[in-house]
């Protein structure tokens, strides 16, 4: 048994074709990759996750300043996933918050524009005429927003009287992480690798396109190896479950092609857990590995 994962970029739908083997079993041929037969796809299911550019976090400044005149606000920012040299600053690396004094929403807007660099977050006026602090990068999350009257803040060393307002409705809109973008694939899958560049450069249509969005198609595959036995498996065939991940340009309609591997005739849509401040544990969104029955 071994844990094998394969990721493939699809920029041209012509690479996907229907195939039939000598025994009459149908499946999907991915040119320059492999042939896959529906009978060997676990559960006969393919899982589809749509790509997304993500959504930056937003803080409603009008609601932060509501009811406060001479006050202090503390905002803790962080990164939901990944790492970036642009964020190598004290309030990221050492969890140091942004703390500013303000009087009314106008004072808060002015203070935050001076305190936070424009490549991290910008203060803008929304369609309703209210001001918001919008993060530039969708990976930046808002861990906490606290506001306290100046007198109360001066008398408490640990801000015990400060009110945590991140849980109040409408104050903080959580970020949604990007998924399946060309940049996301380059960062997370490390294309190109040393293996496919040390002899010859990879084909142009095998590489992710910067600025494009990709949908993910994933399934698990198990082909029985007849006559091959492990030394500790008496009479048991050796079978390994492999994982196959395809990133397909979202402008290509390939549901019917991957539907050749599905009992239902179409991929099963699954969501990607991108909302909130917690990083995603796994890149791939596929079902848990099923252990094949004896003889399969």
Span 79-104, mean pLDDT?
A: 69
Higher pLDDT: 84 or 70? It is 70
| DSSP E strand boundaries for 61-159 | 70-79, 98-103, 121-125, 131-135, 140-149
Same domain, 70 and 151: yes
Q: Are residues 88 and 136 in the same domain?
A: yes
Total domains in the chain come to 2
The pLDDT score that the predictor gives to residue 220 is 93
Task: Count Cβ atoms below 10 Å from residue 48 Cβ, excluding itself.
Answer: 19
Residue 104 CB partners (closer than 8 Å, separation 6+): 65, 68, 69
The pLDDT value given to residue 283: 30
Peptide bond into 192 cis (omega under 30): yes
140 domain-assigned: yes
Is residue 276 in a domain? no
More confident residue, 228 or 69: 69
Cα 28 to Cα 38: distance, rounded to the nearest angstrom? 8
Over residues 221-234, mean pLDDT: 66
32 phi/psi in degrees, rounded to 5: 65, 25
Mean pLDDT of the chain: 79
Q: Judge if 44 and 69 occupy the same domain.
A: no
What is the percentage of the chain residues whose pLDDT exceeds 90?
36
CA distance to 4, 43, 48, 173, 240, per residue, from 289 (Å)? 12, 10, 17, 35, 10
Is the predicted pLDDT of residue 280 greater than 60, yes or no?
no
**The pLDDT value given to residue 192:** 58
Q: Indicate whether 206 and 244 sit together in one domain.
A: yes
| Mean pLDDT within 204-218 | 88
**Could you tell me if 159 and 148 are in contact, meaning their C-beta atoms sit under 8 angstroms apart?**
yes
Of the two residues 236 and 210, the one the predictor is more confident about is 210
Least confident among 138-142, 161-165, 279-283: 279-283
Q: Which of 173, 190, 224 is the last residue of a domain?
A: 173
Residue 109 has a pLDDT of 94
- Are 100 and 159 contained in the same domain? yes
Residue 99, burial from CB neighbour count under 10 angstroms (0-12, 13-18, 19+): middle
The range of the structural domain enclosing residue 78 comes to 58-173
> Which pTM was predicted?
0.74
164 and 222 co-located in one domain: no
pLDDT at 264 over 80: yes
| Residue range 247-268: mean pLDDT, rounded | 94
* 258 in a structural domain: yes
Same domain, 64 and 164: yes
Domain boundary among 137, 154, 173: 173
| 120 and 147 part of one domain | yes
Confidence of residue 294 (pLDDT cuts 50, 70, 90): very low
Six-digit token pair at 142?
């808002």
Pair (184, 46) in one structural domain: yes
pLDDT at 205: 74
State pLDDT tens for residues 7-59.
899 999 999 999 998 888 899 999 988 999 999 999 999 999 999 999 999 99
Q: Do residues 105 and 30 both lie within one domain?
A: no
Q: 126, 144, 173 — which closes off a domain?
A: 173
Q: Which helix (H) or strand (E) segment is 264 a member of?
A: none
Q: Where residue 229 falls among pLDDT bands split at 50, 70, 90?
A: low
Q: Give the C-alpha separation, 50 to 48, whole Å.
A: 7
């Amino acid at each position: 048994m071994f844990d094998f994962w394969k990721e493939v970029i699809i920029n041209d739908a012509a690479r996907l074709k229907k195939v039939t083997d000598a025994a009459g079993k149908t499946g999907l041929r991915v040119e320059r990759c492999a042939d896959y037969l529906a009978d060997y796809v676990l559960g006969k299911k393919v899982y589809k996750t749509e790509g997304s550019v993500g959504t930056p976090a937003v803080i409603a400044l009008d609601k932060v300043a509501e009811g406060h005149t001479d006050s202090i606000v503390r905002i803790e920012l962080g990164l939901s996933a990944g790492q970036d040299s642009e964020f190598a600053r004290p309030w990221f690396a050492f969890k140091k918050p942004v703390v500013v004094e303000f009087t009314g929403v106008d004072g808060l807007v002015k203070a935050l524009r001076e305190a936070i660099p424009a490549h991290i977050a910008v203060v803008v006026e929304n369609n309703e005429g209210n001001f918001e602090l919008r993060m530039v990068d969708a990976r930046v999350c808002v861990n906490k927003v606290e506001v306290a009257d100046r007198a109360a803040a001066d008398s408490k060393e640990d801000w015990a009287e400060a009110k945590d307002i991140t849980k109040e409705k409408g104050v903080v809109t959580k970020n949604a992480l990007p998924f399946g973008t060309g940049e996301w694939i380059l960062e997370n899958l490390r294309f190109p690798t040393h293996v496919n560049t040390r002899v010859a450069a990879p084909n142009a249509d095998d590489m992710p396109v910067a600025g494009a969005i990709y949908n993910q198609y994933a399934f698990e595959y198990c082909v029985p190896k007849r006559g091959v036995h492990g030394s500790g498996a008496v009479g048991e065939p050796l079978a390994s479950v492999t994982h196959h991940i395809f990133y397909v340009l979202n402008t290509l309609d390939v549901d019917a092609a991957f539907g050749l591997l599905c009992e239902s005739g179409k991929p099963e849509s699954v969501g990607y857990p991108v909302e909130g401040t917690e990083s995603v544990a796994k890149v791939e969104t596929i079902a848990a590995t099923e252990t094949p029955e004896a003889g399969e």
